[in-house]
């Protein structure tokens, strides 16, 4: 399945498509996410690398009833769309750069699927956050720990995606951004 996904990305990766998803990434980071974060005094749970049940439930409490409802709605709408945008941006950008940085038969070509790990664990994280927001004032520690693990894994995949993007940029630049055979 991952091989098919990787091949599909290689088939459809184009500079224009990368730019379209880059524009979406910029729009979310410049407009949508700051507007959502401005409504949250303690910031969103999603931006923490890791947290304990005590910390996360303290944050959940600080949002208040209206803030929890707002955050829950965002997690079920905007934070479903945003991971799709950033996943496709990173996956297509890595693919496009790796096509110019590495030979077409290089094992490196298959790493273009790494951003989908961030997407998957972001969705699991969203499910955990929505559940914590919904069951509050109940504070199940196991739910918080599992969600914290999802958050941490999401960030590890995100960091790996960034490293791959930078690696691809360097290798593609070394080859003059010419597609490799």
Consecutive 10-residue averages of pLDDT for the chain (181 residues):
95 95 97 92 93 98 96 96 98 98 96 98 98 98 98 98 98 96 87
Total domains, the chain = 1
Q: Distance between terminal CA atoms of the chain?
A: 24
Residue 180: inside a domain: no
Which residue shows structure tokens 């914290």?
148
Contact 154, 96 (CB under 8 A): no
Structure tokens at 51: 């947290």
Phi first, then psi, for residue 13 (nearest 5°) are -65, 125
Residue 181: inside a domain: no
| Confidence (pTM) | 0.94
**Helix (H) / strand (E) containing 43:** none
Residue 98: inside a domain: yes
Q: What is the pLDDT of residue 58?
A: 97
**Helix (H) / strand (E) containing 65:** helix 53-76
Phi first, then psi, for residue 109 (nearest 5°) are -60, -30
Q: Which domain holds residue 135?
A: 2-174
Q: What is the pLDDT of residue 41?
A: 84
Q: What is the pLDDT of residue 52?
A: 98
């Amino acid at each position: 399945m991952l091989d098919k996904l990787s091949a599909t990305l290689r088939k459809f990766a184009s500079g224009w498509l990368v730019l379209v998803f880059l524009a979406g990434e910029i729009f979310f980071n410049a407009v949508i996410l700051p507007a959502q974060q401005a409504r949250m005094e303690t910031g969103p749970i999603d931006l923490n690398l890791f947290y304990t049940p005590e910390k996360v439930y303290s944050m959940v409490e600080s949002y208040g009833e209206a803030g929890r409802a707002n955050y829950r709605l965002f997690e079920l709408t905007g934070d479903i769309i945003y991971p799709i945008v950033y996943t496709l941006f990173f996956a297509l950008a890595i693919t496009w750069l790796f096509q110019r940085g590495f030979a077409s038969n290089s094992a490196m070509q298959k790493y273009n699927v790494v951003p989908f790990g961030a997407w998957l664990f972001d969705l699991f994280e969203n499910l955990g956050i929505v559940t914590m927001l919904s069951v509050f004032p109940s504070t199940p520690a196991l739910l918080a720990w599992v969600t914290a693990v999802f958050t941490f894994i999401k960030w590890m995949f995100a960091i790996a995606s960034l490293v791959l993007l930078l690696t691809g940029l360097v290798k593609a630049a070394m080859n003059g951004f010419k597609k490799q055979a």
